[in-house]
Structure 1
Amino acid sequence: MHSNIVEETDMKQFFSRPRALGTLGVLAFCAAFCTAFCTSTASAADLLAEAKASHVLRVANTQSSPPWSLLDDNNQPSGYDVAIAKEVGKRIGVPNVVFVADSFKNFVEGLKSAKYDLVMNDLTPTPERAKQVDFGDPYGVEDFRIFVRVENTDINGQATLKGKRVGVVTGSSNESWARAHLTDSDVRSYDNGGLVFNDLGSGRLDAVIISHFGGMKYANVNHLPVKEVGEPLIYQLSAPALAKGQPALLAAVNKAIAGMMADGTIAALGKKWVGANYDMVGTIAKARQQKE
């Protein structure tokens, strides 16, 4: 293992040669030394220990993607992911969970910059995201569908999206799926579901790919003339995300989720928030077996 600590004798030898290296060389060395030292120090921080010491677990979600994350009638975070996060906090020894509102496109950078400890908001563990952050075990799942205007009869499945204008939410897993699988479509990204559904309702888009629950929310709440068509395009798991280099926090979260799977907590919360007939545990198992 190579250390980021520069030996004192090496430092003395370096700074004894300023004429040979010049002022810019000295400054460059100092910048590199500081970057390496600060990075090493930051990565050494144990977020689980810090959360226990401060008695606060910071969890990010959008607070605008029901039934997973929303604001209730008292303007407080609520929903399936919120309930799961609160239970995780209790089981890892940090029952005071503070929710931080953010958007999907900011989640990865928010974790990397220590803006929050966890992201729990219907976030799918994709290979691209896993290069930058770690994911715990899945605790949720949903199916992604195609939504079109009610009078549309041309689009009824993935094959009929060729050449069509398809809206997705920026930074979401439906965007990454669409760009990978709909190469013959005009895929357009929007900052949030409200905007993308407004354009579908007004005819500026031919279709939208979004979760069943998200799509039904925008259709019903905004009274838009849209409908869901075709079979699910894909089942997508949701899992807690956290910064890399946090083995203690990752292990604690996974242990909490395993316990919630075993004792029926996840099944009960799924029925409460997603639907009385929704088999969260069984659908998670189905999603883990699927192949894209």
Structure 2
Amino acid sequence: MRTINGRRRAITLVSFVALCVAFSSAATVHAADLLAQARANGTLRVANTQSSPPWSMLDENNKPVGYDVAIAKEVGKRIGVPNVVFIADSFKNFVEGLKTGKYDLVMNDLTPTPEREQQVDFGDPYGVEDFRIFVPVGNTDIKDKDSLKGKRVGVATGSSNESWARAHLKDSDIRSYDNGGFIFNDLGSGRIDAVIISHFGGMKYANVNHLPVKEVGDPLIYQLSAPAVVKGQPALRAAVDKAIAEMMADGTMQAIAKKWVGRDYDMVGMIAKAKAQKE
């Protein structure tokens, strides 16, 4: 009996030590310096939807392009990691993807919200846009926020406009979609009555797909977009913030915005105005 008990104690001790090592390894991985790792590996992993124009989308060669894509590439160069790999994911997965190490950054029109800021850190904003109501061109019932009462409203799953819609459109039937294109397909077929999406995103879908839709009413909300990083990565966050500040100051950000967002869109000025309103 003594021998058996001794073996059991030894096995228990070994199991305990193995468990401690596993926890220690997990903590070490979580606490690893992602900036140093990216520089050592020569690769920065950035998440985006690749389906939210003009911020991120696929071109005719199936390559990621758009404002956020161009900004992310420039950030990579300026922080010493010129090889940026883009990982396609949906808004609803971005926070968990960061927390599980699936990617180093999220850069896809992601708005810092109190809920998100409890789980991940955000850098300085590099984009801003206004969100609007889109309806079929023949619709005359929906003119503004108040006329969405009782209507079926489509939003992107996990997006800040979904959060806003569920908080402010209590009397509407909010329906979420993982893909922006599907929202407009359902709008065109009559499955939903309206879509809440950014002005740029909505107009891009309408123009590219030749959809008979229109904007109605004033902007519902203005939202800043910022890079998201897992908590506990001050070096990566600081490096990204420095790159964004340099791009704002030297005209690079404005040049990228003119190419992808619109020639007359003052991205830097709009960011300043949106930050001032928020403060």
> If the length of structure 2 is used for normalisation, what is the TM-score?
0.91
| Residue matched to 1:141 | 128
Instruction: Report deviation, 1:291.
Output: 5.0
1:34–1:162: structure 2 CA closer, same or farther, 3 Å change rule?
farther
| Residue matched to 2:215 | 228
| Residue matched to 1:173 | 160
Cα RMSD after superposing both structures: 2.3
**Which aligned pairs between 1:256-267 and structure 2 lie closer than 5 A?**
256-267=243-254
Return structure 1 stretches of 4+ with deviation > 3 angstroms. Answer: 25-36
Paired amino acid for 1:285: A
**Which aligned pairs between 1:99-118 and structure 2 lie closer than 5 A?**
99-118=86-105
Paired amino acid for 2:150: G
Instruction: Report deviation, 1:32.
Output: 6.6
**Which aligned pairs between 1:83-94 and structure 2 lie closer than 5 A?**
83-94=70-81
Stretches of structure 2 that go unaligned for 5 or more consecutive residues are: none
| Paired residues, number | 274
> If the length of structure 1 is used for normalisation, what is the TM-score?
0.87
Within 1, Cα distance between the matches of 2:274 and 2:76? 26
How many percent identity over aligned positions? 77
Instruction: Report deviation, 1:30.
Output: 6.5
| Residue matched to 2:266 | 279
Provide, for residues 160-211 of structure 1, a one-character-per-residue CA deviation record: whole Å limited to 9, x for no partner: 1112111101011110111111112111111111111111111111111001
**Which aligned pairs between 1:29-178 and structure 2 lie closer than 5 A?**
33=20, 36-178=23-165
Stretches of structure 1 that go unaligned for 5 or more consecutive residues are: 1-14
| Residue matched to 1:193 | 180
Deviates more, 1:146-155 or 1:64-73: 64-73
Within 2, Cα distance between the matches of 1:185 and 1:266? 38
Within 2, Cα distance between the matches of 1:180 and 1:26? 52
Instruction: Report deviation, 1:27.
Output: 10
Within 1, Cα distance between the matches of 2:256 and 2:62? 21
Is the contact made by 2:67 and 2:260 (CA closer than 8 Å) also made in structure 1?
Answer: yes
SS at match of 2:211: coil
Instruction: Report deviation, 1:220.
Output: 2.2
Provide, for residues 206-227 of structure 1, a one-character-per-residue CA deviation record: whole Å limited to 9, x for no partner: 1110011111122222232221
Instruction: Report deviation, 1:33.
Output: 3.6
